[in-house]
Chains A and B, each alone.
Chain A
Amino acid sequence: MAVGAVVARILTQYSDKGSKAAQKDIKKLGTNIDKFAKKSAKAFGIAALATAAFAVKIGKDAVEAAMADQKSQALLANSLRNTVGATDGAIAGVEKHITALQKQFSVVDDELRPAFGRLTAAFGSTTAAQEAMQIALDVSAFAGVDLATATEAIIKASKGQTKALGNLVPGVSAATLATKDFGKITDQVSKIVGGSAATRAGTLEGKMAGLKIAFGEAMETLGYALLPVLEKFATMLTTQILPKVEAFVALNKDKLAAGFAIAAEMAFKLLTTAISFSDWCANNMGIVKGMAALIVGMFAIGRIAAFILAIEGIIGVMKLLRTTAIGAAIANAFATSGVSIALGAAALATVGIGAFAVKGMLEPTLPKEGKKTVSPRGNSNNRDFFTNPLGPATDGLENFTNGLNNATKAAKKSVDQLINEAAAKKNLERQKMLSGSTSLAVGQGGKLYMPGGGRNVIVNVAGSVTTEGDLITAIANGLQRKGRRSLGNTNLLVE
């Protein structure tokens, strides 16, 4: 559309671009509404929790208020019974009167009841107490003191102690007070303070106090509704649940204790094992990784047969060693350091090869060009099988197999050497066994053998020797004589 041109639209058509935008807007609006709803729900949830918490508090306060009110009522009823012998009906009437006073003058019943109880006790009747209560309420409002103080002053005045009442109501003349006539005094007091309680109840303070009292009454009402429930619960708890729990514990205390002990022991063992195993794993992480890679490599490549052959080879060497060890000379040879070194060398070689294999598996290797090959199960159609991804594992296993074969060869060589060494050693021992006495070889084919540092014996044959036997006998006799003199016991071998 041209910029700056005057555009006069002739034909108008509907466009869904706008509607899409509108749908987007509506969706966004919906999302926002959802969010708002969630937030609202959350807020309402919080509000509900707060309400629940508040309800719990209200319930608690209500129950406490009801309990206090119940206690107050009970005390007053008891007082009335004791002082004036009030009946239940009279007590109910007093309660009704107190409730009316409470509403009328915005004074809580918890203050009214004690005051009424004291006035009843002082004047001996509920009727007189009601009249005195009215005066006390007015005095309290006039003097700005609590109802208990005003009540106490009136009671004292009824007994002739007018000072307190005179202080609270200064307008009462001293002459009137001096008469100690309770009737006159109360008349004058009533003239002065009459209507004060009602006036106070009509002020904002009084109305607020009335509101507070009304709320308190509502709480008490609620509390009275809750009290039976709590009482029932408490009763059930004390009479049914706790005894059964106690009985169960009493019956099963030993088992419970043993069970706890076993559980604790097992938990400790499990914890110890877990810690030691984790320590071992942490300390041998290389082995763990290597073995895992080795196992993976074994199952992933087609060289398991070579590995098994290598294992069979070393097993064969071990069998040979065991068989060879049956011979006495070889058994002795096994105890020598030579054999230990040979076996240790083989073992070290094996361990070294294993370490090399693991090391080779763990060290990064140069990337090899991956190629597709036949899968381990022989499926040539499995074109997803690559040898390259398992390169480290295959190399490691190959190294391990080769090393195992080399170790087997080394072990075989060691066995051959071992046998030769053992035979030579046996000869040496035999010679050592013979080296304890003088040896003498006589005769043309014999050789002079000089063990133990050698000793030359010269045999002098005197006279003529006619036969060979005579000669030998003569030599032997001469040697024995010579030996007896200078060589000790001599074994003479004559061939």
Chain B
Amino acid sequence: MADEVIVLSGIKETLDALKEFDKDAVKRFKKVINTELAGAERDAKNIIKDEPPMRGWRKADAAKGRTRGGAGWPGWDAGEIKSKITKTKVQGKVRGDYTTSAGSLLNKSAAGSIFEVAGRNTKTSAGRTSSAQFLRNLFISGGKASRVVWRVVDKDRARIEENVNRALEQAKADLQKHLEGERGR
């Protein structure tokens, strides 16, 4: 995970104002965001293999649920997992540092979420319990958590942020140019 985060400011205000002068510039900016998010989404989906990460992970949902609060262990359906890896620009909840999301990746399927975060807070141990064996096998096949969307984000966030920030600065510059042009009339 990148240590430094670029906080974009004034996206909505800039786009709202820029819309009045140059709709193409707005489209260009949105295209940058969408492209970057789509690339991240694609990268995340590419992580998901058709075969389960471990031999005993069935492809179909458990017929009789006994785990996960009775819901049963979810089957590894690569198609469903990939379809539920999506991008979003919903702002979401504002954090205590007065920031919110301008673009995120979601991993919404049950199997995909397990594959994403399993062992994140649990160290792999040499124990002979089923859960310890599960984590060991998962680590061998998929590596340590996080494994899907967070992995992509950690890998590409700096680049994506930089690209989007550059596009935003360009949009602001375009807006400024238009405003100065208006003032000069």
Contacts and interface: CB of A to CB of B under 8 A. Distances in A.
Interface of A: 1-2, 4-19, 21-22
- 3 smallest A-B Cβ distances: which pairs? A18-B98, A11-B102, A11-B103
Interface in B67-110: 84, 88, 90-108
Contacts of B94: 15, 17-18, 21
A484 B164 CA distance: 158
A12 B104 CA distance: 9
A6 B150 contact: yes
A14 B113 contact: no
A5 B83 CA distance: 13
B9 interface: yes
A23 to B, nearest CB: 11
Contacts of B153: 8-10
Given A5-B113, A8-B107, 19 more contacts: A1-B90, A5-B106, A5-B107, A5-B108, A7-B92, A8-B146, A8-B150, A9-B101, A10-B104, A10-B105, A11-B37, A11-B104, A12-B6, A12-B102, A13-B7, A13-B100, A14-B99, A21-B94, A22-B98
B160 interface: yes
Contacts, number: 110
Interface string B9-52: 11100000000000000000000010011001000000000000
B98 A14 contact: yes
A383 B100 CA distance: 58
Given A2-B106, A13-B102, A8 B152 contact: yes
Contacts of B93: 1
A227 B90 CA distance: 81
Given A1-B90, A18-B94, A18-B96, A13 B9 contact: yes
Interface in B104-124: 104-108, 112-113, 116-117
B173 interface: no
Nearest to B112: A6
A15 B99 contact: yes
A15 B117 contact: no
A15 B98 contact: yes
B113 A11 contact: no
Contacts of A14: 7-10, 98-99
A16 B98 CA distance: 7
B61 interface: no
